[in-house]
Structure 1
Amino acid sequence: MGLLECCEHLFGTSNLYQVLGVEKEASEAEIRRGYYKVSLQVHPDRVPDNEQATEKFQVLGKVYAVLSDKEQRAVYDEQGIVDEESDTLRQDRSWDEYWRLLFPKITVDDIKAFETKYKGSEEEAADVRKSYMDHKGNMDRIMVSVLCCTYEDEPRIREIIEKAIAAGELPAFDAFTNESEKKKAARKRQARQKSREQKMDSFLTDLEAKYCKKGGKGRAEKK
């Protein structure tokens, strides 16, 4: 699967700028900040042992690598394609190391602090409004694209959008205003299932760390 297809699958859009939450005319600094913000949401330190989060993190690294390279960005802007064979997107690249080179001083506490500060802020509200416009009111895609967002946040995200519509700041897209209860319920079930799977993965990892290592140590001592 190519980069654009991966973006569509994981973030609900094949538009690289939308993946990072920036405009096409964004400066290098704005693209870097967009990458920083979105990647914090799925950083391995924040969401450990989660296959989809890891995949998203890797794809975000590739998106930033393309948009931060002048030649690659120019090709994408003009033709809407990326060079999958370029050194920029080579398969053996460590995207975690790449991230650490860009943001070497970021700690787990910094990531948690960002999430706490971001939720409920005007910055979040602005991002929600932009996502609403980018995805024409499609809540499935909005919930995927909004930073630090879980299914428990949906009522709050909907309220932000509804207030903006009432204030005339956003148009009333049919996909949002007339979304069926069946679709809402399906999204909630899917989110809960993912949450259960993540908790189970974490639980199994904890068990492995607690018992398997001890068992290995015991066997070594016996020898």
Structure 2
Amino acid sequence: MLNPFFRAGRFWVAVASCSVIEGMSPMNRCLAAFAIAISLFTPIAHANDALEAKVRAYVPVVSLAKVCDIRINDATSGDHRAMLEAAKSDPDANKLAYRLHYETQTAYIKARDGGQRVAFCKDFITANSKYAKARFTAVVEGHMSDVSTSVQKAIAHNVCGAPPVKLSKADWKPYALIKKMLQTEQKLAKENAETNGWNVNEETTAVTEQFCAAMR
């Protein structure tokens, strides 16, 4: 939606125009002025509405990318850059972007300080899955595409409780590498939690959940 002050500005443009259209009655002059105002501003209104939708979609995701360990897909990254360029020439969109960033960060800080950081980020990523996902999930998905189905099933069994599967000799090395990657991420999550005063169990469990999400 457009800024109410911006909409009001259009009204006063139209009212002021009532007095400058000669040769018409006062009522007809006003009707003509409003018709001119609508014809001039309708295309811009649609453009601003589209820009506002992009600001609302992309700013919160980018705002939480670092703190929630979010990986933004390439399409969203490109749209976000284009949106920022467009917002530079639209004061309303620019103000909205700043406000959304502030509100998103405020919500995150409130959740974090209340011991709900993981739950908040998990819910946020789920709600914005079209634009982003947990970084580690995306990384694991990339690695999974490079290994055999047997390795994938063995990892799913070992980490996520899936049915067991036998590995060939050739599969043991990639299996061990992926297990090592998970252990490294869990160690980093533990260290980050201890450094920042977060719940260690929640943070390490979240890593495992991200890992298993990539197995589905």
Q: TM-score, normalised by structure 1?
A: 0.27
Between 1 and 2, higher relative CO (CA 8 Å, sep ≥ 6) is seen in 1
Between structures 1 and 2, the one with greater helix share? 2
